[in-house]
Amino acid sequence: MTGLRGRCPRCGRGRLFQSFPQLRPRCEVCGLDHAFADPADGPAFLAISIGGVPSTALGIWIEAEFEAPLWVHLFTTLPFLLLSSLLPLRPVKGWLIANQYVYHAEEGRLAATKSPAAGSAKRSWP
Among 18-27, 45-54, 105-114, the minimum mean pLDDT is found in: 105-114
Write down the pLDDT at residue 122. Answer: 52
Name all contacts of 33-42 with Cβ < 8 Å and 24+ positions apart.
34/97, 36/100, 36/101, 36/106, 37/97, 37/100, 37/101, 38/100, 38/107, 39/93, 39/96, 39/97, 39/100, 42/92, 42/96
Write down the pLDDT at residue 94. Answer: 94
Rounded Cα distance between 94 and 7, Å, is 8
Write down the pLDDT at residue 107. Answer: 77
Helix spans in the chain (H): 42-66, 70-75, 77-86, 89-102
Residue 121 has pLDDT above 80, yes or no: no
Write down the pLDDT at residue 40. Answer: 87
Write down the pLDDT at residue 109. Answer: 79
Residue 125 has pLDDT above 70, yes or no: no
Across the range 105-118, mean pLDDT stands at 70
Look up the pTM and report it.
Answer: 0.76
**What b/e readout covers 8-36, taking b as 16+ CB neighbours within 10 angstroms?**
bbbeeebebbeeeeebbeebeeeebebee
